[in-house]
A and B are shown apart, each in its own frame.
Chain A
């Protein structure tokens, strides 16, 4: 079992030290990503899903810091705890972009506008692989072809502004996979794209994963994308994972009131129209004034006074690999 684990995040805490106070963006998150599988993190804005990804990449903004926890990367030559490496060290650079690569939401802002796409892909290749410039160009063209860009020999010399949103996202994926990473972090890769383009990109990610055997960490707010691509899912709320498990368990057997409400509040295509959506009351609390106890208790329909606002529930395994942090399922006995 443990041979299959690629990345293990244990009790990760990433805090931001701001003038207004400490924001606990990620507060004790643990999960495992298996080799070649897709792990999805889903949640609303501000739940800490992107910061989790940025912590793994060690590209946190200046005020953010990993306070506690381990991020263990298993590789053939042994294991390494990413949380212990300095973000700007030689070692971190060797991992970043080489073993772990990342694609971002908005390809126009993630790509440099003044360099050609080819230039930017070649830079990554030259940094991490021992090849000559001409070879790097060949690899870059190959990569562009792999991600389905037509006429890659010509497109390699285009600037990002000359490409459409879908093409830019493909170019960014080419850049991310050019060093054959073992883990690809995709932070809302399709959010800025149209539905037909989104379907193309998701299909591309699936095919690439099959071909190259890399694992993917998919960060999204869209349950539809999770259903489409993930093998295992973690649902985050205010810096904590409230529920995690295989994709079928999360969709067909959701346990946490937040997951249940989230699934109900999506207007699904093909559903009876015109009935009221079941929405979650209220809004996400301010990160400076986190609720006591279970963080969801202020909006929870199954709130139990005197229990939920007192202590934080711990994760309980309700089914094989399906864990939920809620007192409804006996979150207090475990600790």
Chain B
């Protein structure tokens, strides 16, 4: 990993309008992503965790401009040149997209059932005029070998493959154009544990071999801890905490992170019934609570939490820092994982 920043997101917002009635009058907004800022260094893996509806997938999609952000700056550094992805037009986007790719969650719905594996993996090469004919076939074969698939299966259709193999096809497709950044959106959550381990190992090997940078979106904390250098925790459209993986897991500073860590069922019976249970439900992003969004569920909440949204501040000056959005971050002594 080096010091160079590859991607920097500043004040990213994505509001989805809620339309009602015949005239589709806008009644309000779902603030799916609300003022999110972070950076990813070259060759690094940033884990993005949160529960469903926290906006982690929307963040990933905004970065790739699969959907257009409402506000904010997404800077992508390519050969020391800064490109603001949020303001590119379609033609410019096409140029930049080959440097950033995505791996999807569901390997059953993310591959076109009417295309052969060769067509699926070869499509990005064809679209971008990188290769065709014989050359294309060679490149596809090479990509398939890289992800551990046998090139002789090139002429088969996705239905002939198992879930883990399909996910490998998806990974090969993402790799086809030698991208710098790969947004992995829950790449292993649809897979069985044994296949999940294989896929995680593959992603790590590929990262080492090609100096890939990952934005790794997942809800499984074990997986995120395993693969990430740094982790960002999202709650109702906002990042509540970012720190280096070990720091975040050992020494969480946001009560929500603490609760998340406590809620994971540990595969060891001795931890049984030691987990404290967070009451209540995730807030509605269309109508979030006042002040800190987490205060109705937070065991440490005080009056100020109900009134003011806490500032996102760095509380650890050395290393990569430890950013947290909680009024009491410095006072609380929260429990992490040993």
Contact = CB atoms under 8 A, between A and B. Distances in A.
Interface of A: 44-45, 164-167, 194-200, 202-203, 206, 221-229, 247-248, 251, 261-263, 265-271, 273-274, 276-280, 283-284
SS class of chain B's interface: helix, strand, loop or mixed?
A: helix
A250 to B, nearest CB: 9
Given A202-B265, A270-B337, 15 more contacts: A44-B195, A196-B263, A198-B263, A227-B266, A228-B269, A262-B194, A263-B267, A267-B227, A270-B266, A271-B226, A274-B204, A277-B200, A279-B201, A283-B194, A284-B162
B245 to A, nearest CB: 6
Contact of B52 (A194, A227, A247, A273): A194
Interface stretch (B79-87, B117-125, B272-280): B272-280
Contacts of B272: 227-229
A265 B193 contact: yes
Interface residues on B, range: 35 or more
B192 A197 contact: no
Contacts of A277: 197, 200-201, 226
B198 A269 contact: no
Contact of A283 (B195, B273, B281): B195
Contacts of A248: 269
Nearest to A251: B269
15 contacts: A195-B221, A195-B264, A196-B259, A196-B278, A199-B277, A221-B193, A224-B266, A266-B222, A266-B267, A269-B225, A270-B337, A271-B226, A279-B194, A279-B198, A283-B164
B267 A194 contact: no
Given A195-B260, A203-B277, A283-B165, A273 B226 contact: yes
Interface of B: 51-52, 162-165, 192-198, 200-201, 204, 219-223, 225-228, 245-246, 249, 259-269, 271-273, 275, 277-279, 281-282, 337-338
A199 B263 contact: yes
Contacts of A198: 263, 265
A284 B195 CA distance: 9
B265 A227 contact: yes
Nearest to B267: A223
A279 B223 CA distance: 14
Contacts of A269: 221-222, 225, 249, 261, 264, 266, 337
A223 B220 CA distance: 13
A295 to B, nearest CB: 14
Contact of B51 (A195, A206, A224, A262): A195
Nearest to A148: B279
Contacts of B260: 195-196
Contacts of B51: 194-197
A149 B264 CA distance: 23
B207 to A, nearest CB: 11
B265 to A, nearest CB: 3
Contacts of A279: 194-195, 197-198, 201
A267 B200 contact: yes
Across the A-B interface, give the 6 residue pairs with the lowest CB-CB distance, nearest first.
A224-B265, A279-B197, A270-B337, A267-B226, A265-B197, A194-B51
Interface centre among B195, B228, B245, by most A CB within 10 Å?
Answer: B195
B245 A273 contact: yes
A278 B267 contact: no
Nearest to A230: B269
A267 B193 CA distance: 9
Contacts of B262: 199
Contacts of B164: 283
A244 to B, nearest CB: 15
B204 A44 contact: no
Contacts of B277: 196, 199-200, 203
A206 B249 CA distance: 27
A251 B268 contact: yes
Contact of B265 (A44, A222, A261, A271): A222
A270 B249 contact: yes
Contacts of A265: 193-194, 196-197
Given A267-B223, A268-B222, A262 B193 contact: yes
A44 B193 CA distance: 7
Contacts of B267: 223-224, 226-227, 251, 263, 266, 268
